[in-house]
Structure 1
Amino acid sequence: MKKCSLLLLLSLFIASCDAPRDRRTAYSSNSYDQSQGYYNLPNSNGTVTTGGSDSSSDDSSDDSDDASDSTIPTEIQHCSWSSDGVNGFAESSSHLGQYTLCQSTNKKDVWIQVKTPITDSQVCIIPTHNSGSASVYIGEPRCLMISDSKKIYKVTLYTNRTGYTNFSITGAMVMKDKAYFYPSPFYQYVLSPDAYIYCSQFLDQYKDSSYCNAFKSVGQYVYKVF
């Protein structure tokens, strides 16, 4: 009964704070064509393909597998990418493994590449705004499947949380869209994006960090400051 009551409370609280969220919108028809949602890194003959568009090529005399600046979209050339899907990733975590998460120069788009494809769930990216040592989420989760280590996936983020629409995106929370067991006061299995959103809203409304402490203790997320 206690678990059922808590689940009902969680559902009611989230519903009362923000409009219904659809985490599975990163590749929906209302955002952008999935065929345009990734960037293929160079193949063996040096060509580079963007989904659904014409191929371009770098100097064919260069047999290096490393992607040159000319093969990467200008908006993300400031970040480190793996041309072979094995080496060159910018960061590593126990949750995602080796990865690169990069904010585009337009500030609304982020691009992500992972060494180990994630096939058992979508990966959700939630935009945040940082102020000193604190951060707050400012928009809905945007989720996608990351199934190829040699593709750089693009996700457009929205700053559509009520009361935070004028905040700039200065970071992101990244997590698998999977249920994990969270200790007290959750004391139940919760999808990680829901656990994070709930703890953040509870902290804002009641100045109570207990749910966020429980979320952090499980450690199934990556926090990135841009």
Structure 2
Amino acid sequence: MDKTAKALGWMRFRFERIGDFMPHKEKIYLPVFYNATMLYDRMKRELAERLWSETDVICYSYFRAVWLKFLPEFVIEQRTEFSVCGDCVQITEALEQATSEAERNAIRKTKHQHEHLISTERNFYHTAREMAVREPEELTCIIQDGMDQKKTNVPKLSKNDKNTEHLLRVPMHATGCLFHTNVPEGKIASVRLDINQFPHDSNMTMNNFLWTLEDNVDRLGRNLHAQFDN
């Protein structure tokens, strides 16, 4: 049905823009401050802004069924293997501990503002990324981030036992970078490794960034969009 296709299109578009793609599994984690009800309400609100009437929007139970059948890779989990946004956790905890409706409404307002900030930032990055692929001479888009060190210390044993769990590991830090441009995959990925031989500060961040520019000097556009979590 048309309204099912419309809902599925919205869900896929929105989930891809707010989700965190995992490097080692197919799961895509949605922000922890969301739940299915909030996402359904947001879909209704955004479709209403496009002049869709309520009768043209699928019901909540069918929304959940469509999600489970067609988009099972998108999940909301309170516990993940990766660090989550500290603000999201604090807002969620404050909402659970609120004792009055006025207090809950104030926290919900803060929650919506935080949600809008995250959505705006991600949409800005996605727009720059897509433009860099379409018009590489005009725009270069680069995103860079470091990986949690505990997951990259070596050796990484398949099983830990009492004889090995207390032994020291070699600290290995990985900084990943995506250079978005007009190539078949849409991006050029690179990784810089270090063993903590120099401080993990803004100098290292900028050196990794400059090395990425040097490696792709023949592909640089006239404008640069760079994204760093720090």
The TM-score normalised by the length of structure 1 is 0.28
The structure whose residues are more often strand, as a share, is 1
Larger of the two Rg values belongs to structure = 2
- TM-score (norm. length: structure 2): 0.28
